[in-house]
Amino acid sequence: MKAETPPAPPVAPAPPRPAARPVERGPRNRHPLRWLVLLAAVVTAAVMLAPFLLLVLNAFKTGADYSTHGPLSWPTAFTPDAFSRYLSLVDFPRALGNSVLIAGAVAFLGAALSLVSAYAIGIGRVRCNGAILALLLLATMVPQEALVYPLFYGAERTGLLNSVWSVVIVFTVLQAAFGTYLLASVMTTLPKELLEAAVIDGASRWQILWRVVFPVLRPTLSVLVVFFFIWTWNEFYLPLILLNDPAAQTVPIALATLRGQHSIDITVLNAGSLLSLLPTLVFYLVFQRTLSRGVTAGAVK
Amino acid sequence: MSALVPDRRLPRTRRSRSGSYWLYLIPIAAGFAVVVAAPFVTNIVLSLYQWKGGMAPKHWYGFGNYLDLMHDADFWHAFKNSLFMIIAIVVVPTLIGVVLAAVLFDYIGKAFGNRAASFLRATYYLPQILPIAVAGFIWSTILDPRQGSINTYLRSIGITSGPDWLGDPQLALYSVMLMLIWLQIGYPVVVFMAALQRVDPELYEAAELDGAGWLRRFRAITVPQIRPEVFFVVLTATVGALKVFAPILILTGGGPENSTVVPSYYAYRNFFELSRVGYGAAIATFMSVVIFAIAALLIVWQRRTERQEG
């Protein structure tokens, strides 16, 4: 297994990995081999984490420290200089506000749109629901370069170029295409009795959606919200084209734009990268359990 | 229609049934029309013109852009690079992912507890939540020929002239692939591990009682049981591999000597750098068709194997 992992970016100080505390389980696993397997899995984890560790290490160095001692040495002193330099070069609070607004709006609007559309397809079983799902599936697969130029012109014509709302509209629809596809298949598995009982009680369709279907699907919807947030936060191509103006840029685009300008200290970019990934990292750690459930939600039909 | 019969299978409900449910599709239909359908069709129309963009005049070119595309060595080079993207995003991560998921689930989870297994899983998945702008930057510093982590390490063990990972046309594509593998591994691991949770534990227990070792169980139980998920990962990752754009833009900008250009990046360059909008649109349309066709082939192939087995 170890041999199949990509060659490790070598790290000078071997990163101290907290080895998981072994739990004794019956006699069959006392084999010494299991420590080797664990070692291999932990080494793989260290390889996966090494780039993150390098990022943190070099974000707290001074530029001079980095250029004399290189990327692998321990910082001579941990300084926040690089962070304050980054914050002076980029209007980070503004980019953060844009990103939170875009990713947050897309997450909730996208999930709501998915719910409403999937209701018509999965429970309403409107005619040609198969064809509609196929169209939505195509929307999730279409490469962005086949949309980008007309979207760019459309945004310009409607005055939405450099407005966060252009990106919100585009990604609400694109994420909802995926979300509808997923929710529709979940809805077909809802027990019929549940809906019939509501019909007998005289509930309207709108009431059934919000009082019966929505509460049942809440866990799935929260997974969608988390995913839509992270995916939209990380989006690159369309925000790059639709949001030229620094005032409208998202966190990742602001970082990439700064990188494009020359003679920016590597440590400054390290600090900027660290700041740019922190929000998704926090989100990920908080919702880690939900996430691993969610990646698979679409897998089993 | 009779108001006297409180039957939920009233004709009235039947008729209004399809009628009112359509209302719920209006928002997504409008969104789909504005964000996907209209731009996609416009893009196809643009591909039939020669156009520099902006106020420049459009010249009707028919299928000329497509004919040019068929004879464009640069495009086919980019297209060939897509195969390398498939190796880095589909083939290698799926193979490693199956093994890692099985080791975590059927070995480490049992020998060291589930917390160890889910901690390791979370570590493998971490690159997946990274903004690509950040991932690209990290790897450009790792692969830098002078100040990069790899070459600094090589120097410390006496190799003074480490390779120029991203600057050597022979090597750059493989360096990009290295980053993509790192980015992608967590995805199959997480999907496959969740798939394994639904496998009946008795299968594993029975196999163990029969004296089947880990490798036997892996081949006879793990792989066949998670085949639907393997298909799901292969399909989504293949589509993703054919759409790769940002890693190329950020890591190499298509260079050196165009050695890492992929179709989406080639389209971008035609749109926004070379002002050949019609040609860029033709590339984008062609790639859309390729992606739809490959996805359709994979789906049909999966249905057929499913039917043969069932």
Report ipTM (2 d.p.): 0.88
Q: Residue B19 pLDDT > 90, yes or no? A: no
Q: Which of residues 113-142 of A touch B (CB under 8 A)?
A: 113, 116-117, 119-121, 124-127, 132, 135-136, 138-139, 141-142
pLDDT at B250: 92
Average pLDDT score, chain B: 90
Give residue A289's pLDDT band: very low, low, confident or very high (50, 70, 90): low
Candidate from A45, A174, A276 with C-beta closest to B120:
A45
One-letter amino acid of A122 = G
pLDDT at A226: 87
The share of chain A scoring above pLDDT 70, in percent, equals 85
Displacement of CA B267 from its chain's centroid (Å): 18
Residue A256 lies in a domain: yes
Q: Residue B134 pLDDT > 70, yes or no? A: yes
B184 shares a domain with B147: yes
The reply to whether A10 touches chain B by the CB within 8 Å rule is: yes
Q: Which of residues 52-71 of A touch B (CB under 8 A)?
A: 52, 54-55, 58, 66-67, 70-71
We report the CATH number of the domain holding residue B253 as 1.10.3720.10
The reply to whether A258 touches chain B by the CB within 8 Å rule is: no
B248 shares a domain with B159: yes
* A chain contacts of residue B17, beta-carbon cutoff 8 Å: 124
Give residue B257's pLDDT band: very low, low, confident or very high (50, 70, 90): very high
Q: Do B40 and A147 touch (CB under 8 A)?
A: yes
Q: Do A277 and B148 touch (CB under 8 A)?
A: no
pLDDT at A262: 65
| ω into B256 cis (within 30 of 0) | yes
Give residue B62's pLDDT band: very low, low, confident or very high (50, 70, 90): very high
Q: Do A23 and B113 touch (CB under 8 A)?
A: yes
Candidate from B22, B134, B228 with C-beta closest to A277:
B134
One-letter amino acid of A156 = E
Q: pLDDT tens digits for B270-281?
A: 999 999 999 999
Candidate from A1, A21, A141 with C-beta closest to B103:
A1
Residue A266 lies in a domain: yes
B285 shares a domain with B185: no
B203 shares a domain with B145: yes
Residue A6 lies in a domain: no
User: Average pLDDT of B159-165?
Assistant: 89
Q: Which two tokens stand for residue B286?
A: 């062609």
Residue B30 lies in a domain: no
Residue B13 lies in a domain: no
B93 shares a domain with B53: no
Of A148-152, A293-297, B112-116, B207-211, highest mean pLDDT:
A148-152
Q: Residue B236 pLDDT > 70, yes or no? A: yes
User: Average pLDDT of B5-23?
Assistant: 54
Q: Do B126 and A49 touch (CB under 8 A)?
A: yes
Q: Which residue of A has its CA nearest to B247?
A: A236
Give the DSSP H or E segment for B59: strand B59-60
We report the CATH number of the domain holding residue A266 as 1.10.3720.10
The reply to whether A252 touches chain B by the CB within 8 Å rule is: yes
Residue B290 lies in a domain: yes
The Cα–Cα gap between A92 and A102 comes to 15
Q: Residue B199 pLDDT > 60, yes or no? A: yes
Candidate from A113, A230, A252 with C-beta closest to B28:
A113
B209 shares a domain with B287: no
Residue A281 lies in a domain: yes
Distance from the B224 Cα atom to the nearest Cα atom in chain A, whole angstroms: 15
* B chain contacts of residue A126, beta-carbon cutoff 8 Å: 18, 21-22, 25
Cβ neighbourhood burial of A162 (10 Å; 0-12, 13-18, 19+): middle
Residue B64: which domain range? 35-71+275-309
Residue A144 lies in a domain: yes
pTM of the model: 0.87
More confident residue, B16 or A92: A92
pLDDT at B161: 85
Q: Do A9 and B142 touch (CB under 8 A)?
A: yes
Three-state DSSP state, B236:
helix
* A chain contacts of residue B58, beta-carbon cutoff 8 Å: none
- Measured at the alpha carbon of residue A213, what is the angle toward residues A207 and A219, in degrees to the nearest 5? 135
Give residue A209's pLDDT band: very low, low, confident or very high (50, 70, 90): very high
B175 shares a domain with B286: no
Q: pLDDT tens digits for B111-132?
A: 888 889 989 999 999 999 999 9
Average pLDDT score, chain A: 84
Displacement of CA B300 from its chain's centroid (Å): 19
Residue B97 lies in a domain: yes
Residue A268 lies in a domain: yes
Q: Which of residues 73-112 of A touch B (CB under 8 A)?
A: none
Q: pLDDT tens digits for A154-208?
A: 999 999 999 999 999 999 999 999 999 999 988 988 888 888 888 888 888 999 9
B182 shares a domain with B123: yes
The Cα–Cα gap between A121 and A127 comes to 9
Give residue A232's pLDDT band: very low, low, confident or very high (50, 70, 90): very high
The answer to whether the beta carbons of residues B124 and A40 sit under 8 Å apart is no
SS (H, E, C) chain A: CHHHCCCCCCCCCCCCCCCCCCCCCCHHHCCCHHHHHHHHHHHHHHHHHHHHHHHHHHHCCCHHHHHHHCCCCCCCCCCCHHHHHHHHHCCHHHHHHHHHHHHHHHHHHHHHHHHHHHHHHHHCCCCCHHHHHHHHHHHHHCCCHHHHHHHHHHHHHCCCCCCHHHHHHHHHHHHHHHHHHHHHHHHCCCCHHHHHHHHHCCCCHHHHHHHHHHHHHHHHHHHHHHHHHHHHHHCCHHHHHHCCCHHHCCHHHHHHHHHHCCCCCHHHHHHHHHHHHHHHHHHHHHCHHHHHHHHCCCCCC
B252 shares a domain with B156: yes
Report the domain count for chain A. Answer: 1
B208 shares a domain with B147: yes
Cβ contacts from A onto B, under 8 A: 314
Residue A73 lies in a domain: no
pLDDT at B255: 85
User: Average pLDDT of A80-94?
Assistant: 92
Q: Residue B264 pLDDT > 60, yes or no? A: yes
Q: Residue A74 pLDDT > 80, yes or no? A: yes
pLDDT at A35: 87
Nearest to A104 by CA among A225, A223, A222: A225
User: Average pLDDT of A203-214?
Assistant: 91
B282 shares a domain with B251: no
* A chain contacts of residue B119, beta-carbon cutoff 8 Å: 20
Residue A212: which domain range? 95-296
The reply to whether A28 touches chain B by the CB within 8 Å rule is: yes
Candidate from B103, B267, B272 with C-beta closest to A37:
B103
Q: Do B288 and A22 touch (CB under 8 A)?
A: no
Q: Do B137 and A269 touch (CB under 8 A)?
A: yes
* B chain contacts of residue A142, beta-carbon cutoff 8 Å: 36, 40, 288, 291
Q: Residue B4 pLDDT > 60, yes or no? A: no
Three-state DSSP state, B60:
strand
Report the domain count for chain B. Answer: 2
B61 shares a domain with B102: no
pLDDT at A244: 87
Q: Do A145 and B100 touch (CB under 8 A)?
A: no
The reply to whether A213 touches chain B by the CB within 8 Å rule is: no
The reply to whether A170 touches chain B by the CB within 8 Å rule is: yes
Q: pLDDT tens digits for A105-153?
A: 999 999 999 999 999 999 998 889 899 999 999 999 999 999 999 999 9
pLDDT at A301: 34
Candidate from A116, A276, A284 with C-beta closest to B134:
A276
pLDDT at A52: 94
pLDDT at A114: 97
Nearest to A229 by CA among A118, A82, A109, A149: A109
Q: Which residue of A has its CA nearest to B104?
A: A41
The reply to whether A144 touches chain B by the CB within 8 Å rule is: yes
More confident residue, A194 or B69: B69
